[in-house]
Amino acid sequence: MSTGQTPHPEFTAERERLVYAKVIWRIIPVIFLCYVVAYLDRVNVGFAKLQMLSDLQWSDTIYGLGAGIFFIGYFLFEVPSNIMLHKVGARPWIATIMIIWGLLSVCTMFVKTPMEFYVLRFFLGIAESGFFPGVILYFTYWFPPKIRAQIGALFMTAIALSGVIGSPVSGWIIQNFHNVNGWNGWQWLFLLEGMPSVVMGLVVLACLDNRIDDAKWLTAEEKALLDYRIAEGAKQHVHLTTMQVFGDRRIWFLSLLYFLFIMGLYGISFWLPQIIKDTGVKDVFNIGLLSMIPYGIAAVSMVLFSKIADKNGTHRRYLAASAFAGSAGLILCGIFAHNVVFGMAALTLATVGVLTMMPLFWTLPTAFLGGTAAAAGIAVINSFGNLAGFVSPYMIGAITDATQSSSGGLYVIAVCLALFAVLVLWKVKKPA
């Protein structure tokens, strides 16, 4: 506790709610916009693919490897990046990595060979490796465990919003900027969607506070309340060294769960435009508009079910149910691969199920980790889990090249999500 005080007696439940609302409105919009542009920089290659592969004469396997190699860099540098954030503070660290990855994303417009593509994607993964786990850690500095699923959902709906906004915008850029200034549409896509990350890095420097003590916009009594609630939640934390984190079985079990989840997340994120195209929709802008549907419904689902789970303490059941829904949706995507109406309904179910899993999952590790253990533990889970971000797109690309259909890859991912649900119900005995 930074103030050493107990909560002021005037802090009723309603007053406490208003204090957290004040914190949320100050922090979440900035972090939210950062994640929108971050995720867009990560997956807009899925839209670039619709034009990029034919222009450069690349195969689906080359694309899948390039999309996935991002996560090798992500894996190698995530733990040190998150520990660095814990030491130097969220504001300078997040700002720095955002500016770097924005510039790297812009540079992707100049690739000519597969190797150039692989190298840039690898370094983009290094730059982005500290953002998501860093934000999860950052939330533990401000919010107690009892509301973190809701806070995580508010933050993680940025994935859905990046699809709602980014999909039609990406389609529009590719279609309308093609051959402007002699550049192809996919080149303009990387330029116009990379620069906002640089801008948001500067916004972070101007607006974000590292910890409760740094917030001049909070009164002393409000800081005391927030510190008290954080200290309450910290009583359940285990105190591990960084090396002990690597030997904790719970960390590796959660890493396995997250790997299975990421198989589904990036199977959808990197291939959603192609899945829609396979149903018979050829116009790139229309593909972008249709992509808004699953992401828009998923945004509502993420917030709604996280709020219910926080209220009832049923994170485990909703997490498993979401995984089963995602699995069923992917199977139906394969079955209705060439039917626009049923294919979109199946894709929506898959997207809603997978994205709803995300905020619910992150209540599991943050419920028992704190301090340096949280910094290292969250990074370990996220980095090892995100290796699936390499496996998933590369696997689907290879299967698509071999069979001329993406359905086989979708079925493999569906099995991963079903296994996730079974493991949660079997091994996670208590609600987060």
Candidate from 151-160, 201-210, 292-301 with smallest mean pLDDT: 151-160
CA atoms within 13 A on the CB side of 376: 16
d(CA 203, CA 129): 20
User: If pLDDT is split at 50, 70 and 90, which confidence band does 195 have?
Assistant: very high
pLDDT tops 90 at residue 416: yes
Task: Tell whether 378 is covered by a domain.
Answer: yes
Task: Tell whether 278 is covered by a domain.
Answer: yes
Task: Tell whether 108 is covered by a domain.
Answer: yes
CA distances from 85 to 79, 130, 353 (A): 10, 8, 31
Q: Which of 172, 427, 142, 364 is nearest to 284 (CA)?
A: 172
Q: How far apart are the first and last CA of the chain?
A: 24
Q: Which of 432, 428, 401, 317 is nearest to 64 (CA)?
A: 401
Into how many domains does the chain fold? 1
Q: What is the residue type of 62? A: I
Task: Tell whether 7 is covered by a domain.
Answer: no
Query: Which two three-digit tokens encode residue 273?
Result: 């435009």
Q: What is the pLDDT of residue 402?
A: 82
d(CA 326, CA 254): 19
| Phi, psi angle pair for 280, to nearest 5° | 125, 0
| Phi, psi angle pair for 124, to nearest 5° | -65, -40
Q: Could you list the residue range(s) of the whole structural domain that residue 386 is in?
A: 13-422
Length of the chain in terms of residues written = 432
The single residue listed with the structure tokens 């209220």 is 311
CATH of residue 197's domain is 1.20.1250.20
User: If pLDDT is split at 50, 70 and 90, which confidence band does 147 have?
Assistant: confident
User: If pLDDT is split at 50, 70 and 90, which confidence band does 3 have?
Assistant: very low
Three-class secondary structure of residue 238 per DSSP = strand
| Phi, psi angle pair for 219, to nearest 5° | -80, 165
**Spatial contact of 261 and 361, defined as CB atoms under 8 Å apart:** yes
Task: Tell whether 1 is covered by a domain.
Answer: no
User: If pLDDT is split at 50, 70 and 90, which confidence band does 368 have?
Assistant: low
Mean of the per-residue pLDDT values of the chain: 83
Instruction: Label residue 327 left, alpha or beta by phi (over 0 means left) and psi (-120 to 50 means alpha).
Output: alpha
Task: Tell whether 432 is covered by a domain.
Answer: no
d(CA 382, CA 132): 8
Task: Tell whether 57 is covered by a domain.
Answer: yes
Tell how far CA 130 is from the center of its chain: 12
Task: Tell whether 336 is covered by a domain.
Answer: yes
